[in-house]
Amino acid sequence: ETDGRDFIAPCKCKGTSKYVHRDCLDHWRAVKEGFAFSHCTTCKAPYYLRVHVHTDRKWRTLKFRFFVTRDILFIFALVQFVISALAYLVHFIDGLQNYWLRTA
């Protein structure tokens, strides 16, 4: 793995301007105005930009399974709570009905 300090050749410049630290180029692109974000200010060529995404498939799969399991368990617990609340409500209403029938 690199720490961002490796030399790259992002444009068509030659000689001593050809290679630059990645961090230096990122800083230069951030502070310069105009088209410097996407083009070299020396040779006017567009930068050769490539995004490297390093993913660990096992970790992503494990994380995805964890989130799916968490969501399923949450929904299951929520359904159980709703069923219990409805059962308690029915029991309470039935008790009130029996109370009013006995006192009438």
Higher pLDDT, 25 or 99: 25
Helix (H, G, I), strand (E, B) or coil at 8: strand
Beta strands 20-21; 7-8: pairing state: antiparallel
Instruction: Parse the chain into domains and list their residue ranges.
Output: 1-54, 55-104
pLDDT tops 70 at residue 9: yes
> In angstroms, rounded to a whole number, what is the distance separating the alpha carbons of residues 97 and 53?
66
Within 10 angstroms of residue 11's Cβ, the number of other Cβ atoms is: 20
Within 10 angstroms of residue 10's Cβ, the number of other Cβ atoms is: 19
pLDDT in tens, 82-94: 999 999 999 999 8
pLDDT in tens, 27-57: 888 888 888 888 998 898 998 877 766 667 8
Where b means 16+ CB within 10 Å and e means fewer, 76-91 reads eeeeeeeeeeeeeeee
pLDDT tops 70 at residue 4: no
Give domain 1-54's CATH number out of 3.40.50.720, 3.40.50.300, 3.30.200.20, 3.30.40.10: 3.30.40.10
pLDDT tops 50 at residue 1: no
